[in-house]
Structure formats: C-alpha cells, structure tokens
C-alpha cells in the first residue's frame, strides 16, 4: 500500500507559491518604454502672407509691407513674408519712398488649416514729377505714351503744381472675392466687375477745377476699328460715369472736376473655377522609437498667372489692352517658383505625414466690343494649404 508524503507535497506547494510571487514581482518592476513628446512647429497657430514686389520689370528691395500691426521689408529679390497668428482679413500696405503707396485687403479663410500660406504680389509705380499750371494758359501733360492730360486756361485760380501718375492699382476686389469664395466652397463662382485699363493718381488730392480737366487715353484697339463698348470712369473706386469715346482721335475721354484717383475701367463678366495641385507629401515614420526626431524640408510653390486660352478676336491691340488690365489686377504676368522652408518635429512612437496643396483658380473674363463678346482665360496660383496626419504607436506617453 502506497503512502503519501504530505510534508513533501506541502513543501513543493510552498516553493511554487514563493517562486510565482517572485516572478510576478519581477514583471511589475520592469520599466516600460516612454516616448519623448515634443511640440511640432508646424502645428503652431500661424498663417503666412507672402509675395513679391516689382516695378513691373525689376524687383524692388526695401519696400515696407504691413498687415495690421505686423510688418516686413522686401529682400533683394523683392520677396516678403508676414506671419499672422489668426485667420481673417488684413489690410495690406506697400510703401516705398518715391512710389505710389498701394493698399488692399488680403484674407486668410476661416476654414484655413494652420500653416496656410496666402500669396499677394504687387507692382509699385514711381510718382510722376509735378508740372506748374497757370490760370492764363492751356497746358498739355504727357502722362504716358498713349495718354495725355489737357488743362484748359482758367481751370485753376492760381499757379499750381500738379502731377498725374499712371499707376498699377491693387487687385480688383470683386475678382478677389469671387476667387476666395470659389476656393472656400470648392464650386465655380460668377460675378460682374470693371477691370482697370488705366489708373491715375492725381495730385494734389482734393484740388477742384473751375473748368474740367480732360485725360485722353488712346484706344489702341481702334486701329483695327475695334473698341470696348462698355467703359466706365471710376473715382476713388466708385463708378462715376460712362466714359466718352471720341471717334475723331479714337480716344477714351475722362473729364475731371477735381483731383483724386481716376480710373478707366472696362466692364467684365467674370467666372472663377477652383482646382488644386499637390505640391509635397512629407512623411516621418518614428513608430517603435522612443526618441523624438526633427526634419527640415522645402516646399516649392508657384506664384503668378498665365494665359490658358483666348477667343479669336483677342489679338493685336485688343489683346494688349486686356493684358494690361490683367496685369493691373493680377500683378506681373508669368509664373515663378517660391521655395518655402519648413521644419517638423515628431514625438517618439509616432508616424506623421504633412501634405501641401496649392489652389489654382481659372478665370474666364468676358468683355464687349463693337464686334461682339471676346474672352480670355487665365490661371492664377493661389493659397497653399497644410494638412497634418498622425498615427500613434502602442507606447504610453507616461509610465503608469
């Protein structure tokens, strides 16, 4: 008959229990990996306004550019960048000694992601030299190759220094609004506006005339017996009157009873169709690693505009006039590349992907001539958006 050694069994059970407790205690004392957590500079509440300033041909350095309380100076290439810490509309101002100061509004859309970049470029024009006019004599001022100003005797009460500068104005507000709405809603938009063919800064501002002063702008397209049939005279941005077309010398005539900003504008129908291009997708895979990493990279965006197509009647001087209007509202023609330096920081045990897309707006602009409706289609490169996607690993940021 077998006998059971209870003392042996008890000793074995006790040994196993102590061993188990010892094993569990070791598991609890193991240190779990803790990922390093860092702030990513790309997630800062920051938005950028950038662009270039030229005189129409050459870059302008040391131009003071301001947006609200924030300001910057253009570099040797005419480029500037302003950082703002909120979305919304900002009054953008461009100023340089000896040049006409330009002001306009630029908007960071309410739906914009952090890090969005908005582009705005401007042409600045040198102020014209002043000329003395007297009450006794007529005076003829050559404003540009195709523009003259006639001051009749008796227009001024006393000898007066006057200056008329043909300049490039700020971008057309309606065109800008329709483009912003198209991008924001991702749907085509239409409107009507009046694009500046010629803009004149007349000094001294506010002076009144006893007799009207005339500015005559040669209708270049009339050489081919074609001219715009809907042209307006704007004063300080407000529709003032229909422009007189003088067939005898084929000129548009603006009559001024006082000095301010006077413009010759052609009535247009506008449509804006939004699109986009992916510029870059940058990925950092730091999963399974505790140490944070950083990476510097560059995003190459496009700035400017180009002609895509035009109707058959947009040739010769008609095309020249429309191109002048487009340069007035979209800045210098042509597309250039802008490199934007970026830096990303990725915490431990994380995968991060940053994608940059640029809006592309296609404008169709229609105008009426005495021969029918003509159109021109252009593409302009717009704001660059930034989108960040994260994938978190299994490590816990804090040891529990």
pLDDT in tens, 21-60: 444 544 556 678 999 999 999 999 999 999 999 999 999 9
Average pLDDT over residues 238-247: 91
Task: Report pLDDT digits (tens) over 98-140.
Answer: 999 999 999 999 999 999 999 999 999 999 999 999 999 999 9
Prior bond of 204 cis (ω within 30°): yes
CATH code, residues 40-125: 2.60.40.1120
Run of H or E residues at 73: strand 70-73
Q: How many residues make up the chain in this entry?
A: 400
In whole angstroms, what is the distance from residue 352 CA to residue 39 CA? Answer: 13
Looking at residues 147-159, what average pLDDT do you find? Answer: 97
3-class DSSP state of 291: coil
Q: Among 59, 330, 290, which Cα is nearest to 172's?
A: 330
* Residue 192 pLDDT > 80: yes
CA 87, distance to chain mean position in Å, is 14
Q: How far apart are CA 301 and CA 385, in angstroms?
A: 11
Beta carbons within 10 angstroms of residue 358's beta carbon: 22
The per-residue pLDDT for 9 is: 45
Q: Does residue 16 have a pLDDT over 90?
A: no
Domain ranges of the chain: 40-125, 126-390
Task: Give the pLDDT confidence of 277-303 residue by residue, as tens digits.
Answer: 999 999 999 999 999 999 999 999 999
Three-class DSSP category at 359: strand
Task: Tell me which of 192-206, 211-225, 307-321, 324-338 is least confident.
Answer: 211-225
**Radius of gyration, CA atoms only, the chain:** 33
Nearest-angstrom CA–CA distance, 126 and 120 = 20
**Max Cα-Cα span within the chain:** 149
Which pLDDT belongs to residue 42?
Answer: 98
Q: In the predicted model, is pLDDT for residue 7 greater than 60? A: no
Q: Is the predicted pLDDT of residue 8 greater than 60, yes or no? A: no
Q: What is the pLDDT of residue 29?
A: 60
Q: What is the mean pLDDT of the chain?
A: 90
pLDDT for position 370: 87
| pTM summary value | 0.86
Q: Using DSSP bridges, classify how beta strands 251-258 and 350-369 pair: parallel, antiparallel or unpaired.
A: unpaired
pLDDT of residue 221: 58
252 has a pLDDT exceeding 90 = yes
**160-181 burial, b if ≥16 CB within 10 A, otherwise e?**
bebbbbbbbbbbbebbbbbbbb
Q: With 70 as the cut, is the pLDDT of residue 345 above it?
A: yes
Collapsing DSSP to helix, strand or coil, 226 comes out as coil
Of the listed ranges 147-151, 196-200, 260-264, 319-323, the least confidently predicted one is 319-323
């Amino acid at each position: 008959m077998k006998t059971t050694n209870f003392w042996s069994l008890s000793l074995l059970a006790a040994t196993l229990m102590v061993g188990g407790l010892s094993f569990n205690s070791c598991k609890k004392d193991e240190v779990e990996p803790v990922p390093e957590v860092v702030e990513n500079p790309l997630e800062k509440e920051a938005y950028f306004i950038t662009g270039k300033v030229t005189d129409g041909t050459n870059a302008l350095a040391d131009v003071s550019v301001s947006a609200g309380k924030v300001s910057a100076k253009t570099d040797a290439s005419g480029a500037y960048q302003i950082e703002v810490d909120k979305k919304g509309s900002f009054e953008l101002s461009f100023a340089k000694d000896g040049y006409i100061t330009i002001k306009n509004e630029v908007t960071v859309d309410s739906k914009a992601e952090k890090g969005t970049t908005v582009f705005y470029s401007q042409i600045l024009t040198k102020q014209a030299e002043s000329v003395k006019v007297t009450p006794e004599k007529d005076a003829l001022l050559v404003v540009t190759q195709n523009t003259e100003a006639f001051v009749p005797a008796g227009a001024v009460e006393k000898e007066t220094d006057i200056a008329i500068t043909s300049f490039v104005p700020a971008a057309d507000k309606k065109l800008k609004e329709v483009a912003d709405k198209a991008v924001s809603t991702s749907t085509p938009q239409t409107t009507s506006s009046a694009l500046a063919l010629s803009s004149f800064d007349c000094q001294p501002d506010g002076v009144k005339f006893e007799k009207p002063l005339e500015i005559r702008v040669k209708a270049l397209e009339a050489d081919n017996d074609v001219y715009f049939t809907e042209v307006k005279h704007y004063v300080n941005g407000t529709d003032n009157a229909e422009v007189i077309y003088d067939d005898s010398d084929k000129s548009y005539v603006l009559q001024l009873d006082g000095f301010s900003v006077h413009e010759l504008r052609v009535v247009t129908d506008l449509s804006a169709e939004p699109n986009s291009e992916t510029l870059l997708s940058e990925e950092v895979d730091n999963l399974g690693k505790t140490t944070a990493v950083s990476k510097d990279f560059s995003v190459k965006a496009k700035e400017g505009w180009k002609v895509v197509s035009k109707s058959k009647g947009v040739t010769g001087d008609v095309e020249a006039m429309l191109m002048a209007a487009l340069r007035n509202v979209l800045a210098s023609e042509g597309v250039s590349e802008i490199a934007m330096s970026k830096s990303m920081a990725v915490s431990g045990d994380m995968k991060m992907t940053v994608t940059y897309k640029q809006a592309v707006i296609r404008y169709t602009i229609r105008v009426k001539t005495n021969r029918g409706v003509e159109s021109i289609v252009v593409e302009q490169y717009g704001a660059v958006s930034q989108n960040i996607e994260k994938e978190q690993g299994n490590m816990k940021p804090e040891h529990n």
